[in-house]
Structure 1
Amino acid sequence: MDGYLSMVIVCLIAVQIQVICVQIPDECQSCGCCAYRNNNKCDNNGYCYNGCQDGYWGDRCYNKCKYANCLRCARINGNTCEECKTGYYGYNCGSLCGTNCNTCDKWSGCTECNAIYYGSRCEYYCGNNCASCDKRVGCTACDTGYYGPSCMCDANCVHCDNLKGCTGCKLGYYSNKGVCYECVYKTNGCTCSNSHNCIGCIEGYFKESYLCSPCPYNCTSCTTSTQCTSCTDGRFGNICQYKCQGNCIHGSCVSMQAFCQCKRGYTGYKCDHCMSGYYGFGCTQCSLGCSDTCHQHDGFCTCKYGWAGDRCDTCADKYFGNMCNRKCNSNCEACTAEYNCSLCIPGRYGDYCQFKCGKGCKHNKCDFKSGYCHCKNDNFITGYCHDCKSGQYGQTCEQTCLQTYSGYHKLQNM
């Protein structure tokens, strides 16, 4: 009997020691892992009234659930997981739901995939061109312009319908029941509407008789064997025979259209000479005063009325204006406006030649601005040469007055 009691006492001491040695996690001190409700968490002995927070179990809720991916386990047994963390499923929450899974059930795994994925773990991609993706079977409807289980057009298809398949094929292929097939004469550059006809040519060929022939070398498209419509980069000409560098003299090379785009005034395949209406080394435009075109070497031409000069680039006497079509006033020899003269006719002076030169001006000419002139003889008063000196009279002051005691008197004709 004493031996039995000793054994019981030892066992109780062992149990007591085991309880004392359990380490409570820091976050669970003072009932920290108890569920909180109505301001009550636990009693004085640490018993949690409302159960445990997620991830813990036991009366005092300081035991962690056994499995790392378990969100909530049974309170009486940490080995039984009731709910998995997001992204996991299975008895011990050890299986991944999949990165493309939208909703995941603990027992059955992924129940709904993100919009464009399917499969038990949403591991398969429906494709960019899928309009409707089912989790179990994949794509059930394609976007407009695509067809098939992967919603892709045929490799040789340029346009397809989600119901009819391919409706337009690449050049050199034809469509039959939604599939593109190669033309028999594709190697001859033909396009076709059925297997054996040739209705047109692919790029780099031109239609000749019933089939197509290749364009000249360096020619990327053409209409005949001697007329290219586009060249390889860096070339131009009717058969792409010229290199742009060094041959497109006064222009910009446009290989895509097989020609040299000339600068203003230039013409020719190489833009190396002047077009009609231009002249000289720099292909200067002929003057507006030319009645027709000008000589391409020096620009000389026949003038329109009102123009003057070898190149007809100035106004003729008595004309002014941008087009030399306005006349100066009648007293002007040259002008910049009707009443702004730069040269008067003989015998006139002033800004618009409104004054007469003195009657004694030599050769009937006087200064354009002041009216001063050289006198015909010494009988005129210098300056304007209009009045006679004292003792002289007559149109040219050539006659001398009779001198008497009372002054000068004109001599009477006998």
Structure 2
Amino acid sequence: MDVCQVFMDLNVKTPKLKSDKSPLAASHRDLACPGNCVGGMCFNDTGHCQFGCKNGYFGDMCDSGRRFGCKNDNYNHNTGLCLDGCKEGYFGEYCKRCPSACDGGLCSNKTGRCEGCIPRTYGHNCDQECSPGCAEDGACNQDTGACSNGCNPKYFGQYCIACSPGCGDSGSCSFTGVCESPCKSSYYGERCTACSSGCAYDGTCTQSTGVCDCKPNHYGTKCFACSLGCAGDGTCDPETGECQHGCHPNYLGPMCKACSVTCVDNQCSADTGECEKGCIPGFFGHFCDK
């Protein structure tokens, strides 16, 4: 018997990287192996590198970026985990670069906490800004943000907060924020707080209490104008707004509100509000509200 024929009949095949005829292999046979595979060799069915990755790459297809921070450039080529720790300026199991605001680019190899911050920043990653009121070089405590060298003028406290804009001529305040000059208009109290009520019609707040001080013919915490229907000198109660001398014609109630516009000639009873001449077309009822 011909020996060659025996082997042909047995259909013995030797595995070949580029001769695999499986359906998956067929789908990959025209694709080049990933460029970072050692020897340029990969499996036809998956594209995974057969002999691992070139130095500096990892993953099944060696397509994950280099771990530049790994000490001795030594890391697991499947997971990317650094095996000998990190170079200076990198941290963590995968040796990520230290935060950019770290002074000198240095941080703890384990936690990533900056060993120091660039000027005028603070925090674990030095990603928060010190107050602009910090004096001299603007430095502040890396952990708390408290200013290291006191405050510039017009700032106060350990964090150098700006004094109130309501502080008088000097604009300065004490370490506790108490203004050193009398308050500007519309501010009150020892720290010159802005009047919260919003005094209208040129009303001003009392600098000791913050309560609005209204001009004549105005009332309430925000200095609303008395009704135009107030008779006499037009004055009203400074707290409630009730007219003090009754109402002009065609106004009614304690605050002298105008009669309904649906009343003919806007005329109504000052006592009841009922329309005295009837309703304009399209309305009916005693108050012409229907």
**TM-score when normalising by structure 1:** 0.27
As a proportion of its length, which structure holds more strand? Answer: 1
Larger Rg: 1
